[in-house]
């Protein structure tokens, strides 16, 4: 079977890219070795970030999250939770700085009357001095990925799940991909396999510099109807996200050398409860119902200019170190970093790069075309 582009990885990044490329008229295929959204995407907090968390230390990411939050909420309302998160703090200097920065960056953050917040959520620590409503809301990540795939298939895209790549060779500008379900040929490869990026890169005789950081999340019966986040310098254990009556406490960030070795740190449960108890004291005595771990594949930004196809640089737009696309060998592109919230934007930038390469002028439609209508 012959395609113009084959995407590896059915997480948020790969499925959003599948949709974008198929909508722009590329003959696209997506190859996922397990099932859609079975990697980091479903092991995340599944919070559609509003941007407040990043306004001080990464204003570009803050703005990207704010913009993508608005876009995803408009194109796929059915995958987004109704209740917004509150950020709460103890009135430190950081909280006021963050609120000022949010205003400048047009990141939604509305200070609330604490009396109303304590009335709504009696389990909050009453020493809290500031509460802010943001656009952070839940996202059903699996459903988001599935909608991307359905949309791509409607535009002619081909989806292969449970398909493992055995070998990749290149001859005269065409990649020959051997899978356990037959052979595929393509002009372009997008490697969106997240933490497993180097398993595909190795089949292309290359290796991508990447740092793996695991994050553990524990799940309890919820003590709040909505997500609560700690308004302080971004750090571990600052988010309590509420999904269907369950509170998800997270996360840790522990560097690991091999994504196959990810497993919850033995201290994670006690640590997450102790930290989040600062804002919600009751979590310390709540039973942990389950524990899971996700892996961040982080771009370290130290790529040589010659080897880097940094899509922010390339498009002359704002610079961000949050995600990168590395080109090579030949027409293979490897995607590192990013967030579930910014997957659509990453896909747009990847598809722009491919359009440049293929001398195609098709424009991105994913920001305006409803996902829910498929």
Nearest to ligand FAD of 223, 346 (CB atom): 346
Lookup result for tokens 């933490």: 195
- Three-state secondary-structure class, residue 29: strand
Instruction: Output the CA torsion sign for 263, 267, 270, 273.
Output: negative
Instruction: Give the position of tokens 């959003």.
Output: 16
Considering beta carbons, is residue 146 or 196 the nearer one to ligand FAD?
196
Using rule CB under 6 A, residue 51 touches ligand FAD: no
Q: Does 344 bind ligand FAD (CB under 6 A)?
A: no
Angle at 354 (CA atoms; ends 353, 355), nearest 5 degrees? 90
CA angle 79-163-263, nearest 5°? 65
Could you give the CA distance from residue 268 to residue 252 in angstroms, rounded to a whole number?
7
Q: Is residue 215 within the footprint of ligand FAD (CB under 6 A)? A: yes
Interface residue with ligand FAD among 52, 200, 219, 237 (CB under 6 A) is 200
CB-closest chain residue to ligand FAD? 11
Q: Are 223 and 197 in contact (CB under 8 A)?
A: no
Does 45 bind ligand FAD (CB under 6 A)? Our answer is yes
CA distance 269 to 291: 8
Residues of this chain, 56-75, that bind ligand FAD according to CB under 6 A: none
Q: Which is nearer to ligand FAD, 64 or 187 (CB)?
A: 64
Q: In the 8-state DSSP scheme, what is residue 175?
A: E
As a whole number of angstroms, the distance between CA 285 and CA 193 comes to 38
DSSP 314: H
φ and ψ at residue 333, rounded to 5 degrees: -125, 130
Instruction: Compare residues 138 and 308 and give the one whose CB is closer to ligand FAD.
Output: 138
Examine residue 11 and tell whether it contacts ligand FAD (CB under 6 A). Answer: yes
Contact between 192 and ligand FAD per CB under 6 A:
yes
Q: Which of 278, 294, 298, 299 binds ligand FAD (CB under 6 A)?
A: 294
Query: Of 319-338, which residues contact ligand FAD (CB under 6 A)?
Result: 338
Q: Which CB sits closer to ligand FAD, 251 or 286? A: 251
Assess 181 for contact with ligand FAD (CB under 6 A): no
Residues that bind ligand FAD (CB under 6 A): 8-14, 31-34, 38-41, 44-47, 49, 165, 192-196, 199-200, 215, 217, 250-251, 294-296, 338-341
């Amino acid at each position: 079977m012959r395609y113009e582009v084959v995407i590896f990885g059915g997480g948020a990044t790969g499925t959003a890219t599948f949709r974008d490329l198929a909508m722009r008229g590329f003959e696209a295929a997506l190859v996922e070795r397990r099932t859609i959204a079975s990697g980091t995407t479903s092991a995340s907090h599944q919070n559609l970030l509003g941007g407040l968390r990043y306004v001080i230390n990464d204003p570009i990411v803050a703005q990207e999250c704010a913009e993508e939050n608005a876009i995803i909420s408009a194109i796929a309302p059915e995958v987004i939770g109704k209740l917004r998160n509150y950020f709460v703090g103890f009135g430190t200097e950081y909280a006021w700085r963050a609120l000022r920065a949010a205003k400048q960056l047009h990141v939604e953050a509305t200070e609330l009357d604490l009396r109303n917040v304590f009335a709504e959520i009696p389990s909050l620590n009453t020493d809290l001095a500031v509460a802010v409503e943001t656009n952070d809301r839940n996202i059903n990540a699996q459903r988001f990925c599935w909608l991307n795939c359905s949309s791509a298939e409607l535009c002619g895209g081909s989806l292969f799940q449970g398909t493992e790549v055995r070998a990749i060779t290149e001859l005269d500008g065409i990649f020959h991909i051997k899978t356990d379900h037959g052979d595929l040929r393509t002009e372009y490869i997008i490697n969106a396999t997240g933490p497993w990026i180097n398993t595909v890169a190795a089949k292309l005789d290359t290796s991508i510099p990447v740092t793996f950081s695991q994050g553990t999340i524990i799940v309890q019966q919820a003590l709040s109807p909505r997500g609560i986040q700690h308004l302080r310098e971004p750090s571990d254990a600052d988010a309590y996200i509420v999904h269907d009556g369950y509170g998800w406490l997270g996360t840790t960030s522990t560097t690991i050398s091999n994504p196959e070795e990810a497993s919850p740190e033995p201290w994670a449960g006690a640590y997450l409860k102790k930290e989040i108890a600062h804002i919600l004291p009751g979590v310390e005595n709540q039973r942990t119902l389950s524990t899971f771990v996700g892996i961040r594949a982080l771009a370290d930004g130290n790529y040589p200019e010659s080897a880097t196809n940094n899509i922010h640089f390339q498009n002359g737009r704002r610079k961000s170190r949050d995600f990168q696309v590395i080109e090579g060998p030949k027409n293979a592109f490897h995607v590192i970093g990013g967030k579930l919230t910014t997957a659509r934007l990453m896909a747009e930038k990847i598809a722009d790069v491919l359009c440049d390469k293929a001398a195609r002028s098709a424009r991105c439609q994913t920001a305006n075309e409803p996902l829910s209508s498929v």
